[in-house]
Amino acid sequence: MKIQAYLSFRGNCQEALSFYADLFNADIINRQTYEDKKIDIPSSYRDKLQHAELKGKNVHFMAYDVSPDTPLNNGNQIQMSIEASSVAEGKEIFEKLSSKGQIHHNYREREWGYFGRCTDKYGIDWMVNHNNN
């Protein structure tokens, strides 16, 4: 069994995936737009992503731009969780993810290790952890 996250965006999926690709040293793969699809979608939306994946070492998730008539609410239904290999790596990733976003819990030492939680500038919730063990 394999479980993956599938992130939904409102027209800025390519921008968000490019940001994540740079941050996580990953590649955008299986990129498909709405172009040439037999779907009732406005022509101005045809260049948006109907499906894409971000894949790299220890990261693999899928994402797309929902069609304009699909309800999409920012909320806390999903949080992406990162297990950093060091305190420094966790701090760097947390600072980049929280830049222009919202910090809910500062990245700092907790009883189990280091932890921080934020919402990035695209409305995605992230937890960054580093276990001291």
Cα 129 to Cα 81: distance, rounded to the nearest angstrom: 8
Q: Which residues contact 65 (CB under 8 A, 6 or more apart)?
A: 8, 9, 10, 11, 12, 13, 34, 45, 48, 49, 50
Q: What is the mean pLDDT of residues 56-78?
A: 86
Query: What is the CATH code of the structural domain delimited by 79-131?
Result: 3.10.180.10
Mean pLDDT of the chain, nearest integer = 91
Which pLDDT tens digit goes with each residue over 79-98? 899 999 999 999 999 999 99
Q: Where are the domains of the chain?
A: 6-65, 79-131
Q: Is the overall model pTM greater than 0.75, yes or no?
A: yes
Look up residue 18 and give its two tokens. 């490019």
Give the C-alpha distances (Å, rounded to integers) separating 117 from 82, 101, 133: 10, 11, 20
CATH for 6-65 is 3.10.180.10
- Over the stretch 98-111, which tens digit does the pLDDT of each residue have? 999 999 999 999 98
